[in-house]
Every structure is written in C-alpha cells, then in structure tokens.
Amino acid sequence: MVWIYCAAVVVVILGMLGGYFLGSQHTEKATRVPYESGIVSTGSARVRFPVHFYLIGLFFVVFDLESIFIYAWSVSMRTLGWNGFVRISVFISVLLVGLVYFLKTGALDIGPKLRKPGETL
C-alpha cells in the first residue's frame, strides 16, 4: 500500500520537473509582472471598496446558510411532525424580521440614492 503513495509522489515530482525543464524559458520585461485576464495591471492592487460590498457578502453568506437549514428540515419534514413545523416557522419568522430590519435600515441599498422632485443636495 505504501508503494502507491510513493509512486504518486514520484509522478508529482516528475511532472513538476518536466514542467520546469520543458516549459518556456523566456525572460521579457513583463514576464514576472502579475496580470488580470491577459491585461497588464496598472496602479496599486490596494483598492478600497465601500463597506456595503462586504455587508452584502456577509448577508448573502448568512442567508445562504439558513437556506441549508431549511432544506435539511424539508428533507426530514415527515419525521419531525408538528413540533418541527412550529420550530421552522419560528426560525423563518426570525429570518424575515432580520430581513425587514436590513431593508428598513438601508443596509441592502448600495445604489445611488434617488432624490424626490424639488429636493436639493
């Protein structure tokens, strides 16, 4: 059994050495410069994003995990009975209260604010 792992390690090492020796060996100015989608980058990679982007990502992860719990409940719905139904109803109502809170506070608004007619900046 150990020989299988040793053979796998040898294959990996041979593949890496083969790629190093058989690969292209050119060294132009832009060879070691990082690029994105074939375009040489300009400027700093330290771009500051508004906090709303991180909040939307965090909210997505939270609500996505909650959907996994709801799916698990739906798979075992018949065995849990009414007790499980009451518990998932409370769970979903807490999620809805959280979503309404996010909507009321404007946490999900990342677009430009629309002004009412006659409103000044």
The CA R_g of the chain, rounded to the nearest whole Å, is 27
Instruction: pLDDT band for 120, please (50, 70, 90 cuts).
Output: low
pLDDT at position 47: 74
pLDDT at position 28: 75
pLDDT at position 97: 92
Q: Is the per-residue pLDDT at 1 higher than 90?
A: no
Host H or E run for residue 79:
helix 77-105
Look at residue 77 and give its three-state secondary structure: helix
pLDDT at position 13: 95
pLDDT at position 103: 84
Report the candidate in 97, 13, 104, 22 with the shortest Cα–Cα distance to residue 89. 97
Distance CA 112, CA 90 (A): 35
Contact indicator for 16, 10 with CB cutoff of 8 Å:
no
Tens-place pLDDT, residues 33-90: 666 666 666 777 677 777 777 877 888 888 888 888 889 888 988 898 999 999 999 9
